[in-house]
Amino acid sequence: MRIVVLGGTGQVGRMVVERLERRAQAVVVASPTNGVDARTGRGLDGALEYADAVIDVTNPPDLAGPAALAFFTDTTHRVLEAEQRAGVKHHVVLSIVGANHVGEDGYFAAKRAQEQLVEWGPVPYSILRATQFYDFARVIAGWNTTDDTIRLPAKPVQPVAASDVADVLVEIATRMPLSGAVDMGGPEKLLLPEFVHRVLRTDHDPRYVVEDDEITPVGFNISGESLLPHAPLRLAPTTLESWVHDEGRRRLVGSR
**Domains, in order of start, for the chain:** 2-254 (3.40.50.720)
**What SS3 class is residue 225?**
helix
190-191 and 156-157 strand pairing: antiparallel
What pLDDT, in 10s, does the model give residues 104-139?
668 888 999 999 999 999 999 999 999 999 999 999
Dist. CA 42–CA 162, nearest whole Å? 28
Q: Where are the alpha helices (DSSP H) in 90-185?
A: 106-120, 137-143, 162-173
Stretch 151-180: mean pLDDT:
95
Provide the CB-side half-sphere exposure for 23 (13 A, CA). 17
Does the pLDDT value for residue 103 go beyond 70?
A: no
Does the pLDDT value for residue 254 go beyond 60?
A: no
**What SS3 class is residue 19?**
helix
More confident residue, 232 or 164: 164
Does the pLDDT value for residue 211 go beyond 60?
A: yes
What pLDDT, in 10s, does the model give residues 24-40?
789 999 999 999 999 99
**Do 59 and 103 form a contact (C-beta atoms < 8 A)?**
no
Q: What is the mean pLDDT of the chain?
A: 91
pLDDT band at 66 (very low <50, low <70, confident <90, very high): confident
Q: Structure pTM?
A: 0.92
**What SS3 class is residue 238?**
coil
